[in-house]
Homo-oligomer: A and B are copies of this chain.
């Protein structure tokens, strides 16, 4: 496969002002970032303490006491900083920037003289540095530090954090590699690989790219590095659940170029695949790109939930097998959907294929959005497709399923990940190459950039996904380039109008492509967005005979507040046309779907089974809300996949 490349516009070049997304981008800047700062400082009553910043203070010698929290606690600060950087790009805030600068200075003081920076292995297990790559998360935390550093530098121009990160990266580059005196290991949790690509792009230093490639290509070689580590005499496990380690958990069961299915811990997997896509692009590595395509297809066709989430098993937070997509016991971690969106974004940039954005949208509009409350201070880590609160009992198989969003988590990767994702939403909007501008997502914004040395201004106006009508104002001075507008997979009746007249276009890899010399032009494009029924493959055991409601990029779900208890007893009548109903006052404006259906009821039946058939169907109207909006009114049952009422 041919590798093509396009890049994002800088976040500061894009100003998003969108009815649908403002709820979240403002939320992050105004609520979540300050809220998370309080949490990281252990100042929020009722939330589990983070210990995150206190650990840095102890490492800097500015506080005393025991270092606490998970082994990867440092990464929460890095992800918060990354979110702050993106937030500053779209919403300058000197006070917030000052707070961030102080945290960065603290990190600098906590850094060891050789560049090493990790509070766990500095304070808790000094001898253990690089000795437990499988579980220690040192390289993972370093990766998030590097991501934060490149973001903060790109936005603010300040290089303090970048230099901290570079010193650490340089140390890592000395420690790891093919040399005789180097460790031939790689991260137990992929993350630094994609971060090193960013560091290379920011600094131009190829050694970082090469190190990323080394980590990716070494993974899975025999004998397995992690198993060797664990066989050592002094090895001790950090995590009980990894005592019987299977390299599949960390995608190290095979060299990546031999992997055909997405396996193991879902977040680890997609972070790794992001780096593989980056490297395929950077090195024009068609073999690696093919492998990315195989893994992408395996995920999106057979191992992804309709809500754009992944990870079928709560234990080990992992992929399981094709079509194993349980609704009520899955993991579907918010972070994994974020990673999937990042993987899709990269794949689109190196293939020029719009279809990746169907999955990016699926993840962002559904699972990632569901990951944070509309109040901004409650989070879902796990995102089931069916919740029966009575059965979500602590100390049970479903104890990982929370029927309401939580204030914080002992393992708190998701909240900061959501924050950095929504503040960097701009990265998804456009892809730009030498002669092409791609419009990927339909979020109202204004963007300014250069093309062939000339300024180009774009103003995109839409109320998507409420409608599929989009207006684009182009302002430039006779610049020839191709404008490529993504035609979503669900779009029907796509139309293009330029300066008031229906226009011809080519359909290229899912993009509507128009090449012309642009000046002061009005582009209008539209497609129908109507409620639709999505059918499950009968091979998905959990969903055989079931259907789901969707509309545009949004998957819908039923909530108890609208439909009463026992949502499993509802049957969708596929011959009845689902109707949309706009509710201006509901959750900042919500499109409901209503559909005729039935409820299977047996009001006189007390026992769980009976030889007497007392069930009967009652007529009902089913009301569905977007999955991303669920659990913002009242706790209760929720369900995505609805029984289909067959008429054989």
Query: Interface residues, chain A, CB within 8 Å of chain B?
Result: 240-241, 244, 246, 249, 300-304, 306, 312-316, 318, 320-326, 328-329, 386, 388, 390-391, 393-399, 490, 532-545, 548, 550, 566, 568-569, 571, 574, 598, 600-602, 605-615, 617, 643, 645-648
Contacts and interface: CB of A to CB of B under 8 A. Distances in A.
A326 to B, nearest CB: 8
Nearest to A393: B320
B391 A608 contact: no
Contacts of A617: 646, 648
Given A313-B396, A329-B397, A608-B325, A538 B648 contact: no
22 contacts: A246-B394, A300-B607, A302-B608, A304-B608, A312-B396, A313-B393, A320-B396, A321-B390, A324-B388, A324-B391, A533-B611, A535-B609, A537-B606, A537-B607, A541-B566, A541-B568, A544-B566, A545-B569, A574-B613, A617-B646, A645-B646, A645-B648
A390 B539 CA distance: 12
A602 B537 CA distance: 7
Contacts of A532: 611
Q: Which of A302, A542, A609, A646 has the most CB of B within 10 A?
A: A609
B643 A316 contact: no
B538 A601 contact: yes
Given A544-B569, A647-B648, A608 B535 contact: no
Number of copies: 2
Contacts of A648: 598, 617, 645, 647
Contacts of A304: 608
Interface pairs A-B: 4 shortest CB-CB: A313-B396, A538-B569, A541-B568, A324-B391
A458 B548 CA distance: 62
A504 to B, nearest CB: 27
A602 B543 CA distance: 13
Nearest to A386: B541
Contacts of A598: 648
A534 B614 CA distance: 11
A555 to B, nearest CB: 10
Given A395-B249, A397-B313, A600-B544, A537 B610 contact: yes
A397 B382 CA distance: 14
A395 to B, nearest CB: 5
Nearest to A242: B395
A385 B193 CA distance: 44
Given A328-B541, A535-B611, 4 more contacts: A302-B607, A329-B329, A490-B611, A537-B609
A120 to B, nearest CB: 21
Contacts of A544: 566, 568-569, 600, 643
A614 B609 CA distance: 33
A17 B532 CA distance: 63
